[in-house]
């Protein structure tokens, strides 16, 4: 099967997860891990059935209209949080606190992500979703072109570490939303092919292998 995985997630997790699936069922043959594409391209290819599977994606109304999701088991769970510059003393507990900041509360979001879709449903926020790359948004935050960078906690941590910005950026403790990263599939994928993948995923859950893998990557 043709597939892609989420290169913006924890480095190595999805590859290790896929390899674990193949150890459970050696008949599962995947290809496509050697090419990284923009998320918008991956969604387009998935909807057009040029690829069969995508590890891993947040479920949104827009995406459900284009392709399918396997909700159980989830690959891992995420919490939506915000990163701010380390020298900014701001401390918000929720969206109301950000709204109260007015023009001083610009939120950076990465275009075409589930986080951007969720923010679009929240009234009264000033959102800048011009960047299509997470690291670009982090750099925009550091340069003062936004006050908050909103994303899944695991992605924020990965970006900060990749940029070597641990001393310049902090992630606030407030959780704005909880969600799961799921397996997405092409709308016309044969049910028996999908069922075989899901069966292997459930075996990983029952054996505890999936939980051990999540723990190894600091996930839940």
Looking at residue 1, its pLDDT comes to: 74
Tens-place pLDDT, residues 151-161: 999 999 999 99
Residues 120 and 51 in one domain: no
CA dihedral over 57, 215, 132, 97, signed as positive or negative: positive
Token duo for residue 48: 């057009």
Beta 107-108 vs 127-128: how paired, if at all?
A: parallel
Token duo for residue 96: 């109301």
Any idea of the CA torsion for 90, 96, 98, 103, to the nearest 10 degrees? Answer: -130
CA-to-CA distance for 9 and 40, rounded, in angstroms? 16
Residues 107 and 130 in one domain: yes
Looking at residue 33, its pLDDT comes to: 75
Secondary structure of residue 43 in the 3-state scheme: helix
Residues 113 and 160 in one domain: yes
Average pLDDT over residues 91-101: 98
Task: Answer yes or no: pTM beyond 0.85.
Answer: yes
Residues 121 and 196 in one domain: no
Residue 177: its H or E element: strand 177-185
Residue 128 has pLDDT above 90, yes or no: yes
Contacts of 177 (CB under 8 A, 6+ apart): 79, 80, 118
CATH number of the domain to which 56 belongs: 3.40.190.10
Number of DSSP helices (H) and strands (E) in the chain, helices first: 9, 9
- Of the candidates 133, 139, 127, 141, which has an alpha carbon nearest to the alpha carbon of residue 39? 133
Looking at residue 7, its pLDDT comes to: 45
Residues 27 and 64 in one domain: yes
Residue 11 has pLDDT above 70, yes or no: no
Residues 135 and 171 in one domain: yes
Q: What single DSSP character describes residue 77?
A: E
Average pLDDT over residues 38-49: 90
Looking at residue 12, its pLDDT comes to: 85
Residues 126 and 36 in one domain: no
Angle at 80 between CA 5 and CA 166, to 5 degrees: 85
Beta 107-108 vs 53-57: how paired, if at all?
A: unpaired
Residues 140 and 207 in one domain: no
Give start and end residues of each alpha helix (H) in the chain. 13-24, 39-47, 61-64, 95-99, 114-120, 134-142, 153-163, 191-207, 209-216
- Domain with 152 in it: 77-177
Tens-place pLDDT, residues 170-206: 999 999 999 999 999 999 999 999 999 999 999 999 9
Q: What percent of the chain has pLDDT over 90?
A: 84
Residues 153 and 110 in one domain: yes
Number of domains in the chain: 2
Residues 7 and 66 in one domain: yes
Residues 159 and 88 in one domain: yes
């Amino acid at each position: 099967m043709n597939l892609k995985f989420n290169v913006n997630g924890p480095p190595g997790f999805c590859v290790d997860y896929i390899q674990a699936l193949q150890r459970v069922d050696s008949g599962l043959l995947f290809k496509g891990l050697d090419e990284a594409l923009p998320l918008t391209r991956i969604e387009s290819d998935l909807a057009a059935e040029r690829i069969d599977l995508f590890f891993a994606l947040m479920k949104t109304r827009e995406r459900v209209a284009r392709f399918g999701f396997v909700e159980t088991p989830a690959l891992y769970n995420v919490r939506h949080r915000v990163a701010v510059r380390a020298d900014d003393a701001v401390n918000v507990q929720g969206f109301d606190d950000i709204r109260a900041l007015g023009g001083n509360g610009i939120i950076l979001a990465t275009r075409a992500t589930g986080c951007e879709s969720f923010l679009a449903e929240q009234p009264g926020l000033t959102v800048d979703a011009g960047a299509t790359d997470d690291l670009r948004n982090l750099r925009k935050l550091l340069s003062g072109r936004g006050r908050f960078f909103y994303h899944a906690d695991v992605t924020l941590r990965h970006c900060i570490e990749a940029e070597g910005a641990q001393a310049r950026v902090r992630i606030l403790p407030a959780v704005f939303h909880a969600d799961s990263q799921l397996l997405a599939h092409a709308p016309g994928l044969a049910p028996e092919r999908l069922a075989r993948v899901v069966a292997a995923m459930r075996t990983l859950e029952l054996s505890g292998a999936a939980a051990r893998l999540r723990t190894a990557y600091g996930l839940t």
